[in-house]
Amino acid sequence: MVVTSMLSRMSTTVQDTICGSARVAAVWLFTFIALSVIHCFALVSPAAAQANIGLYTDTSGWGCRFSPTIPGVITAYVVVRPDASGVTAVSFSVPIPPCLSATKLSEQLMIAAPSTGSSLTGISIGLGYCANSPVALLKITYQVNAINETSGCCVFPISEHPQLGYIETLGCAFQYVPTTVTKSKFTTTTSCWCMRLALYSAWWKYFVK
DSSP 3-state of 46:
coil
Domain locations in the chain as residue ranges: 1-43, 51-206
Alpha-carbon gap, residue 66 to 73, rounded angstroms? 11
Question: CATH second-level architecture of 51-206?
Answer: Sandwich (2.60)
Residues 57-70: what's their mean pLDDT? Answer: 92
Higher pLDDT, 106 or 45: 106
- The pLDDT-based confidence of 153 (bands split at 50, 70, 90) is confident
* Per-residue pLDDT reduced to its tens digit, 11-39: 554 455 444 554 544 444 444 334 333 33
- The pLDDT-based confidence of 194 (bands split at 50, 70, 90) is confident
Ranking 62-71, 80-89, 165-174, 182-191 by mean pLDDT, the lowest is 182-191
In this prediction the pTM is 0.71
Contact at 8 Å (CB) between 157 and 198? no
For the cut 60, the answer to whether the pLDDT of residue 182 exceeds it is: yes
List, as one string, the DSSP characters of 145-178: EEE--TTSSEEEE-B-BTTTTB-EEE-TTS-B--
* Per-residue pLDDT reduced to its tens digit, 65-107: 999 888 999 999 999 999 999 999 999 999 999 999 999 999 9
DSSP for residue 96 = P
Residues 98-117: what's their mean pLDDT? Answer: 96
Residues 190-200: what's their mean pLDDT? Answer: 61
- The pLDDT-based confidence of 48 (bands split at 50, 70, 90) is low
Higher pLDDT, 116 or 18: 116
Ranking 4-18, 120-134, 139-153 by mean pLDDT, the lowest is 4-18
Q: Which of 130, 133, 138, 135 is nearest to 171 (CA)?
A: 130
Residues 96-124: what's their mean pLDDT? Answer: 96
Percentage of the chain with pLDDT > 70?
A: 69
Residues 142-150: what's their mean pLDDT? Answer: 92
